[in-house]
Structure 1
Amino acid sequence: MSDDEAFTYNGGRVGSGERQNIRYGISETYLGDPVRIPVTIINGADPGPTAFLSAAAHGDELNGIEVVREVANEWDLSELAGTLVCLPVLNVPGFLAQQRYLPVYDRDLNRSFPGKEGSTSSKRMAHRIFTNFIEPCDIGLDFHTSTRGRTNMLHVRADMADPDVHRLALSFGSNVVIDSEGPSGTLRGESTAAGIPTITIEMGEAHRFQRGLIDEALAGVDSTFAEYGLRERSAVRWPGWRTIISGSDEKTWIRADDGGIVDMHYERGSLVHEGDRIATITNPFKDDDATVEAPFTGLLVGILENPVVYPGNPLCHLVELDAGVRRVIKREQSVADGASS
C-alpha cells in the first residue's frame, strides 16, 4: 500500500480499507486537560474522492450531529470508494455548555477558519481542525441549524458562481438553494477558497434532534455520495422541484414593527400569498392586535419559534418563487392535505 492511498493527519495514519475512531486534541482547559474532538475516518479499499461531513461548529446546533453519526456508524460503508472524514462535534466546549459560541473565549468558531497557529484560542482550534481534517479533502458538507428561537426548513447555502460548488449543491438534492458566498472565517467560505468545494446545510432549530429533517439530510448525503461515486448503490436525488435564491434576496426577513407576543399562522416551508396574514402580534391583554401580512407570494424558509418580539426582531424569512415552482408546491400541498383528510 503506497503512502498516497493513506489518509494522514498530524499524529496518525489511516490506511486503505481501514477505519479509525479518534479523539483529537485541539486545545487545553484551565486545568491543562485536553480539549478533544471526536473524529471518524473511513478509508475505502477502492480509490475515490475524500469528503468531510461536519456538524456543531455552533455548539447548540444538534441535528447535524445525528446525521454525521449515522453515516459514520450505521451506514454500510464496506464498499466505500474514497475516504470519509466525519466530524460530528467541532465545537466541543460549546457543545458541553450547550451554547452557540466557545464558552470563556466568547468566540464564534465558525468565524475563525482557517485558523492560525499562535493566534487566539478559537483560531488555534480552527487551525488544528482545518489543517488536519479539512485540507486533505476534495468536498465538504457542513451541517447547521437556525439560531436559538428560530427554525429553518432544510436548505443548502452555496456559492453557485463556483462551478464545483454548484455541482455539489445540486447533488444534495434540496428544494431550496440560497446562492451566497460564505462569510469570512466560515468553514464553508474558507474551505471553498482553499479549493475544497463546500456547502452549508441548514436544517431546523437549535437544542434538539428533529427526526424528519435528519432523515431528509441523510437522503441528501446519500445523493451526494452517488454523484461523486463514493457509494455506487446510491442514486442522485431529484427533490421534485428546486429554486435557487440569489444572495441579494437572501436576507428577506420580515421584521416586527410592534413589540408583543406572536402568533405565527404558518409553518416553515409553507407557501404564502401576497396579503396573507403570516402572524399576529398582541399585548398581554389581547386588546391591540397588529397583523403582519406577506408583502409578496413566496416560501417561508425560516420562521420565529420564540413567540416574543421587540420592534425590529425578525419574524420570518420569506423568499420569492417563480410561477412554475409555486404551481408545483401548491399541487404538492393539495395532495398532502387530501391524504391527511
Structure 2
Amino acid sequence: MAEGDDDDAFTFQGGAVRPGETQNFRYTVSETYLGDPVRIPVTIINGERPGPVVFLSAAAHGDELNGIEVVREVAYTGMGDHADLAGTLVCLPVLNVPAFIAQQRYLPIYDRDLNRSFPGSETSTGSKRMAYRIFHNFIEPCDYGLDFHTSTRGRTNMVHVRANTERESVSRLANAFSTNVIISSEGPEGTLRREATEAGTPTITIEMGEAHRFQRSLIDRALEGVKSVLAEFSIRTMEKVRWPGWRTVIETSNDKTWLRADAGGLVDMHYDRGSLVYENDTICTIADPFHVETEEVTAPFTGLLVGVLENPLVYPGNPICHLVKLNDRTRRAIELEQAKNGRS
C-alpha cells in the first residue's frame, strides 16, 4: 500500500487495520514439533491521515535485544501518542521467536539464519517458509523499512547504518536516520534489507551495541534516529530531522577493514567502540597467559572503530575490530567535537 491509495487500510492475510486504528496481535509464521503455532508479535498503528507505511523490525537474530526495545518504545511508550501520525507504522519487535526463546542467534528448529532466508518461499525450508510469511504480509506492503541489529556475541558496535546508498531512495532514508557513520553496500543475498529493497521497499539496517543486552544509551540514540526518519517523510509533523554534527559514508572496501588476531591469547583493548584512532596507534595488545609473549595490533590508517571485541579471548584469525577510514575533514570534525566535550 503506497501513499495516496484510495483504501488506506493496512491489509495482511487474515486481517486489516483501518485509519485511526491500532492493533496488537500475534501472527502465525510456523509450527512446533507438536503442531503448536509459532507466532510473532505485531503492532500496527494506522494514522488517521494518509502517508507512508514504515516497518520497524528487530531480532531477526534471536540474541539481538537492543532493537526489540527500540521497536517496542516506538509502538508504545517512546514516541508519545500517535495523534499526529500521517501514515502507518508496522512494528515487528521479534521476528525470530524460536531463537529469541532459546536466546541464540539462529533458528534452533532448523539451524538456519533467518536473515539469509528472505524473501522466503512457501515450499522450501522451514526458515524460508517463516521468512515468506513475514515478508509478504508485513514487509513488501511497506514504503520504507528500518531493520535493527546488534553485533554478534563477543563484539559490540557503535550505532551506525548499513545501506545501499547507490539507490537514491535508500540513501535518503539512511541519511535521515542521522547516524555519524553509514556503510554503503548492497548487503548479502537473503538479508531483509537487501531483499526488501529489491522488492521496492527501501530498507536500511541499523547496527547498535552487543547481543544479550539492553543498552539504554544506544536505544535512546536509535529512537532519535527513528524520530528523524519520521520527520523526513512527514509521518510525524511534531518531530524534526536531525543532523549528527558530522558524517562519513564508507562506499568502498578500501575504506574499511577488519583487523584480526595473528596470535592466540588474551586481548587488552586500548580503545572503545566509536573511538578515533590514528595511523600506527596501538589498538590492543595480545598476550599469552604468562604475559611473556605479546603482540601489538596497530591501526593501518587513521579511522574510526565502528566495532570492537568484547570477549578478550582470541585464536589466530579472530576479528578484533572493524575500522573505517576517515578523510581529513571528518577527522577534524571529530577532534573538534571531542575537544568540545572535554575528551582527549
User: What is the TM-score when the length of structure 2 is the normalising length?
Assistant: 0.96
CA–CA distance in 1 between the matches of 2:61 and 2:152? 9
Report what 1:230 is aligned to.
235
**3-state DSSP class of the match of 1:292?**
strand
Report what 1:171 is aligned to.
176
CA–CA distance in 2 between the matches of 1:195 and 1:334? 43
CA apart distance, 1:250: 6.3
CA–CA distance in 2 between the matches of 1:5 and 1:328? 44
Name which of 187, 192, 197 aligns with 2:197.
192
Unaligned runs of 5+ in 1: none
**3-state DSSP class of the match of 1:22?**
strand
Shift >6 Å, 4+ stretches = none
CA apart distance, 1:105: 0.5
Name which of 8, 17, 32 aligns with 1:14.
17
CA apart distance, 1:99: 0.4
**3-state DSSP class of the match of 1:252?**
strand
Q: Structure 1: which amino acid aligns with 2:309?
A: L
Report what 2:261 is aligned to.
256
Unaligned runs of 5+ in 2: none
Name which of 187, 193, 207 aligns with 1:202.
207
Higher mean alpha-carbon deviation, 228-237 vs 288-297, is at 288-297
Q: Structure 1: which amino acid aligns with 2:7?
A: D
Name which of 10, 23, 40 aligns with 1:37.
40
8 Å CA contact 2:147–2:203 kept in 1: the answer is yes
Report what 1:81 is aligned to.
86
Could you report, residue by residue, the CA deviation over 1:207-231 in whole angstroms, capped at 9, with x for unpaired residues?
A: 0000010000000000000000110
**3-state DSSP class of the match of 1:326?**
helix
Higher mean alpha-carbon deviation, 241-250 vs 60-69, is at 241-250
CA–CA distance in 2 between the matches of 1:223 and 1:245? 21
Aligned ranges 1:302-321 → 2 under 5 Å = 302-321=307-326
Could you report, residue by residue, the CA deviation over 1:264-299 in whole angstroms, capped at 9, with x for unpaired residues?
A: 000000000111110000011111111111111110
Please say if 1:64 is aligned against 2:76.
no
CA–CA distance in 1 between the matches of 2:255 and 2:247? 16
Report what 2:51 is aligned to.
48
CA–CA distance in 2 between the matches of 1:127 and 1:29? 17
8 Å CA contact 2:255–2:325 kept in 1: the answer is no
**3-state DSSP class of the match of 1:185?**
coil
CA–CA distance in 2 between the matches of 1:178 and 1:113? 21
CA apart distance, 1:253: 0.4
Report what 1:153 is aligned to.
158
Higher mean alpha-carbon deviation, 241-250 vs 253-262, is at 241-250
8 Å CA contact 2:98–2:109 kept in 1: the answer is no
Please say if 1:136 is aligned against 2:136.
no
Report what 1:337 is aligned to.
342
Report what 2:110 is aligned to.
105
CA–CA distance in 1 between the matches of 2:26 and 2:17? 14
**3-state DSSP class of the match of 2:224?**
helix
CA apart distance, 1:336: 2.1
CA apart distance, 1:337: 2.7
8 Å CA contact 2:275–2:305 kept in 1: the answer is yes
CA apart distance, 1:3: 6.8
Aligned ranges 1:113-124 → 2 under 5 Å = 113-124=118-129
Q: Structure 1: which amino acid aligns with 2:109?
A: V
Q: Structure 1: which amino acid aligns with 2:29?
A: I
CA–CA distance in 1 between the matches of 2:43 and 2:187? 26
CA–CA distance in 1 between the matches of 2:147 and 2:188? 14
Higher mean alpha-carbon deviation, 280-289 vs 242-251, is at 242-251
8 Å CA contact 1:62–1:208 kept in 2: the answer is yes
Report what 1:279 is aligned to.
284
Aligned length: 338
Q: Specify whether residues 245 and 260 from structure 1 end up closer, same or farther in structure 2 by C-alpha distance, changes over 3 A only.
A: same
CA apart distance, 1:12: 0.6
Higher mean alpha-carbon deviation, 288-297 vs 228-237, is at 288-297
8 Å CA contact 1:178–1:250 kept in 2: the answer is no
Report what 1:242 is aligned to.
247
Please say if 1:265 is aligned against 2:265.
no
CA apart distance, 1:334: 2.1
CA apart distance, 1:332: 1.3
